[in-house]
Amino acid sequence: MPLKESTLDPSKAVYDSVLESGCGYSKPLKQGQTLRIVDLEGNQAVDTLSYDSSDPTDRYSAEGTIREQGNIYLTTGTRLMSSEGNVLLTIVADTCGRHDTLGGACAAESNQVRYAIEKKYMHNCRDNFLLEIQHHLPTMSKRDLTANINFFMNVPVTPEGGLTFEDGISAPGRYVELRAERDVTVLISNCPQLNNPCNAYNPTPVRVLVWD
């Protein structure tokens, strides 16, 4: 887990805002800009997708990212690859140490299958993503919501290859920082999940900052 702190000064950020728990969000970034996501209270899951702004059909690829770095966990140095093999963003700082890109986003369907039939209508990340693309990325539809990143989420893989959802390894104030390697649009769902130990059954706000 290569931890790396940032040298960027929050007082010099060109954007600085709190994203309340359960809320969706999208942010266009210019090439060279840096985005920081801060886990304000710890153990929050921040479901994230990214797209090339000039061609949103070229989008984040979990399998391309895993293949290129030869590792299933994301941390400092990870290049977020696109479906066309381009680098969308690079993780340039990380004080949490490990992020997931296997667990996917929670959805009405997964709430129902994983937890209980009456959980189907609970607020979930996929609905957040759907609302965000309707409002801010109208050329895209639900078919453009592919496998995502879960920043701060702990989904260890067992030696046998099993996928487990565990209590988080993040803590209040830990952050991850990404540099845009081209003009990208980042889509975030600050996970509203109430049935999963990853966020201790308690969704909390995150802070989002951008530097030029």
Residues that bind Zn ion in the complex, under the rule CB under 5 A = 106, 125, 191, 193
Least distance from C-beta 81 to Zn ion, angstroms?
Answer: 23
Least distance from C-beta 47 to Zn ion, angstroms?
Answer: 5
| CB nearer to Zn ion: pick between 13 and 186 | 186
Question: Which residues have a Cβ under 8 Å from the Cβ of 63 and sit 6 or more positions away?
Answer: 147
CA–CA separation, 161 vs 164, rounded Å? 10
In 40-154, where do the E strands start and end? Answer: 46-52, 79-81, 87-94, 149-151
CA–CA separation, 71 vs 113, rounded Å? 28
| CB nearer to Zn ion: pick between 78 and 128 | 128
| CB nearer to Zn ion: pick between 106 and 178 | 106
| CB nearer to Zn ion: pick between 13 and 187 | 187
CA–CA separation, 166 vs 160, rounded Å? 16
Q: Are 142 and 189 in contact (CB under 8 A)?
A: no
Least distance from C-beta 3 to Zn ion, angstroms?
Answer: 25
Least distance from C-beta 73 to Zn ion, angstroms?
Answer: 19
| CB nearer to Zn ion: pick between 69 and 146 | 146
Rounded (5°) CA angle 16-18-19 = 125
Tokens 């999940």: give the residue: 193
In angstroms, how far is CA 42 from the centroid of its own chain? 15
Least distance from C-beta 111 to Zn ion, angstroms?
Answer: 9
What DSSP character marks residue 6? Answer: -
